[in-house]
């Protein structure tokens, strides 16, 4: 009988020690979590953060030239999508965005000998260009509005 118990102990001592060690380490980790408050990871998330309202950016593209002349116009919207328009001059489009910054890019080519473009951001002219010549073309670029 004693030899059977000795054999069983020789075989089972490692799993028994492992179970005891895991139980003790689980208890220690559980106590540490309670002590340092890491059970609720988002306890104060968003506390004290104030949402500040701001005015949207208003972006105005203008293309001008001799009245009745036509132009091919390409421009970026606030989401950087390209739009192409074939229209008579003068032409204008107003865009609005709540993005913190926007890049404004406008290119225009006319069938007349004069053309000009203007980019206005929140009522302030940020870029204005004009060109003369056969099938005049111009561009206006505002890198950060």
Report, in angstroms and rounded to the nearest whole number, the Rg of the chain calculated over CA atoms: 36
Q: Is the domain 57-142 a CATH 1.10.287.130 member?
A: no
pLDDT in tens, 103-141: 899 999 999 999 999 999 999 999 999 999 998 999 999
Quick: pLDDT tens for 1-35.
778 887 877 888 888 899 999 999 999 988 887 77
β-pairing, 124-132 vs 70-76, is unpaired
CA distances from 142 to 61, 74, 104 (A): 11, 15, 5
pTM to 2 decimal places = 0.62
Dump the DSSP string for 44-98: TTTTT--PPP-PPEEEEEEEE-STT-EEEEEEE-TT--EEEEEEESSEEEEEEE-
- Burial annotation 34-68 (CB, 10 A radius, 16+ → b, else e): eeeeeeeeeeeeeeeeeeeeeeebebbbbbbbeee
**Over the range 69-96, which residues count as b (16 or more CB within 10 Å of their CB) and which as e?**
bebbbebbebeeeeeeeeeebebebebe
What are the extents of the domains in the chain? 1-51, 57-142
């Amino acid at each position: 009988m004693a030899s059977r118990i000795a054999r069983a102990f020789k075989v089972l001592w490692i799993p028994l020690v492992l179970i005891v060690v895991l139980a003790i380490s689980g208890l220690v980790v559980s106590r540490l979590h309670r002590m340092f408050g890491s059970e609720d990871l988002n306890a104060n998330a968003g506390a004290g953060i104030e949402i500040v309202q701001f005015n949207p950016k208003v972006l105005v593209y203008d293309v001008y030239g001799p009245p009745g002349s036509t132009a091919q116009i390409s421009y970026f919207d606030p989401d950087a999508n390209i739009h192409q328009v074939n229209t008579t001059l003068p032409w204008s489009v107003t865009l609005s965005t709540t993005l913190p910054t926007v890049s404004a890019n406008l290119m225009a080519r006319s069938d007349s000998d004069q053309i000009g473009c203007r980019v206005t951001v929140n009522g302030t002219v940020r870029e204005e260009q004009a060109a003369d010549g056969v099938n005049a073309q111009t561009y206006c670029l505002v890198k950060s509005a």
